[in-house]
Amino acid sequence: MLKKYCFLLSFFTVGLIAAADKPMNVVFILADDLGWSDTELYGQTKLYKTPNIMRLAKMGCTFDRAYSNSPLCSPTRASFLTGQTPARHGSTQPRHHTKTVALKAELAKKARPTEKALPVSTATRLDTNFPTIGKMMKQAGYETGHFGKWHLGPEPYSPLQHGFDVDIPHHTGAGPGKSYVAPWSQEHIKPNYEKEYIEDRMVEECLKWVDGLSGDKPFFMNYWMFSVHAPFDAKQELIDKYKKVIDPNSKQRSALYAAMVQSLDDAVGALLEGLESRGLMDNTVIIFTSDNGGNIYSQLDEGIVPTSNFPLSGGKASMCEGGVRVPCTVVWPGVTKAGSRSDEIVQTSDFYTTIIKGSGIALPEGHVVDGIDIRPALKGEKLDRKAIFTYFPCIVPVPEWLPPSMSVHSGKWKLVRVFFGGENGEHDYKLYDLSNDIAEENNLADSNPELLKRLDNLIEAYLTETNAVTPVPNPDFDPKQFDPTAIGKRPASKKKGQKAKSKKPTPKKNTPAKQVSAAAKKPALEQQFTRRDKNKDGKLDYNEFIVKPERDNEKLKSNFNKRDSNKDRYLSQQEYVK
């Protein structure tokens, strides 16, 4: 009897050890354009309700100083997949939906005479030679699935070539298509019912995939939400709900955007409920964050911008805190303390290293990573980190824009280097003490020369170490055309849906009718430009110009090339409306 008891006890104990040693499942949720102030995590919103994201926070650790690797989407996504910053992997702008295939960044061939520096042209595909996190997890025996947005290139550069067993909906665009509410304009997925919401469908596909797994292996779910990127539409019942509670004096006052945020949060909740009902919560790491800051420049039908990142300045596509500081909360059973917070600085690329090492997998040999293992911070400990870097060597004319720039965060300090933006071909600098000036209102560069030099040396050393393609002085720069007051200001734009006056303007004497006609057309063309600028980078490539591939013809190509006065293969708003 004693021998039988000992055998059963031994068998039971071995079973417990085996269960405890079983690798964790990993769920990585990446929101699109969700700003630091767009959730209830940081107490900055009264309008948006995010109870499911708050549920995650109550179970795990929330980071107060989490940063994306870029103020734009594709570079940040590439950083998560590779563990590298854009300075190293080469994706610096979201041009990955275009026909141009470029696996590396290169110096732009030309710039406008108003620009002091030649910017960097981005890689337009994520090279399949990278040992992406999808490949690493798959090689280690994980089931791997990608769901939602990708925007790092179509086949042969899709998730299926980067280590994922499945890719749903296998869509290559910057957003969900023409609408969140069905009917959608996606080739590989059709709605199951009238007015189905794309994010609801994505969660359904995530859980359907989990149900189809054998259960013998751990899984890695890479869920990149379409929400809350353009196009801006939502469930009508939610829009109506928020219209009743809008404060017209609030910085966040879009019922449409509030409805989109709720649908995002509802999707998070549905996924959590699905994992819980399947008994997976105790053995699943869940990470929630965003690819960049909130969109504060697109014009909605309501006549306002989508959101505000207050108290942060700037937003998506800017080097300000509002462009790169993002919401982030992590649930790691056995590691995180429920309801904890961390003031440590973390960046998207850290999750590559953290997930791989935390899953008991060795980092790939010969592959340099910038991300660090942040599990000590998840336990409430300090990180051994000197600095993080944000490399943004491009020109994107949005509010608070800067010429090609790079920043370093070190402790409470943030230094921004504007390449060759100063006098006599020197760099320009912006230095902020974020512990006292989170809004970045007081530039301390002139009063702290030694600190500036120390931080700028970090930037220079990092650029050298990564062998990054960096901006150079623009040989065509014309000081007479340069307007320093234009830097950091919102470009002129028209509100979406704004109609021209029905009454035609009366021509002045001696004014050719052609000039009047051109002036009358300008507002409409500006609106058209904004609609066609699908990825909101302030310029149109040829695909955006023609809208639909089937419209491609020699006449349109000639029209495009004629408008492209500086021959950089893109149309600025000025070139488009002229």
Asked if residue 16 is part of any domain, the answer here is no
Asked if residue 312 is part of any domain, the answer here is yes
Task: Determine the Cα–Cα distance for residues 298 and 496; give it in Å rounded to an integer.
Answer: 8
Report the length, in residues, of the chain. Answer: 578
Task: Determine the Cα–Cα distance for residues 392 and 117; give it in Å rounded to an integer.
Answer: 13
Asked if residue 80 is part of any domain, the answer here is yes
The pLDDT value recorded for residue 552 is 65
302, 41 contact by CB (below 8 A): no
Cis bond upstream, residue 23 (ω within 30): no
Residue bearing tokens 């009063």: 447
The pLDDT value recorded for residue 465 is 97
Question: Which tens digit of pLDDT belongs to each residue from 85-118?
Answer: 999 999 999 999 999 999 999 999 999 999 999 9
- What the block records as the tokens of 274 is 């699905």
User: Where does a domain end: 347, 365, 383?
Assistant: 383
The pLDDT value recorded for residue 555 is 67
Provide the CATH number for the domain around residue 56: 3.40.720.10
Provide the CATH number for the domain around residue 545: 1.10.238.10
Asked if residue 101 is part of any domain, the answer here is no
Task: Determine the Cα–Cα distance for residues 372 and 151; give it in Å rounded to an integer.
Answer: 25
Q: Give which of 123, 87, 125 is closest to 368, Cα–Cα.
A: 87
Q: How far is C-alpha 274 from the geometric centre of its chain's CA atoms?
A: 26
Can you give the three-state secondary structure of 60-103, one letter per residue?
CEEEEEEECCCCCHHHHHHHHHHCCCHHHHCCCCCCCCCCCCCC
Residue bearing tokens 């008994």: 279
The pLDDT value recorded for residue 565 is 74
User: Where does a domain end: 383, 412, 427?
Assistant: 383
The list of the chain residues with pLDDT below 50 reads: 1-20, 491-521
Same domain, 176 and 34: yes
Same domain, 216 and 362: yes
Q: What angle do CA 163, 169, 173 make, to 5 degrees?
A: 95
Task: Determine the Cα–Cα distance for residues 483 and 475; give it in Å rounded to an integer.
Answer: 17
Residue bearing tokens 């960049």: 292
Asked if residue 538 is part of any domain, the answer here is yes
Same domain, 214 and 354: yes
The pLDDT value recorded for residue 20 is 44
Total domains in the chain come to 2
- What the block records as the tokens of 219 is 């899984």
Question: Which tens digit of pLDDT belongs to each residue from 42-86?
Answer: 999 999 999 999 999 999 999 999 999 999 999 999 999 999 999
Task: Determine the Cα–Cα distance for residues 571 and 343; give it in Å rounded to an integer.
Answer: 42
Phi, psi of 246 (to 5 degrees): -65, 135
Asked if residue 504 is part of any domain, the answer here is no
Asked if residue 332 is part of any domain, the answer here is yes
Domain that holds residue 542: 513-577
Task: Determine the Cα–Cα distance for residues 183 and 180; give it in Å rounded to an integer.
Answer: 8
User: Where does a domain end: 383, 411, 442?
Assistant: 383
The pLDDT value recorded for residue 489 is 65
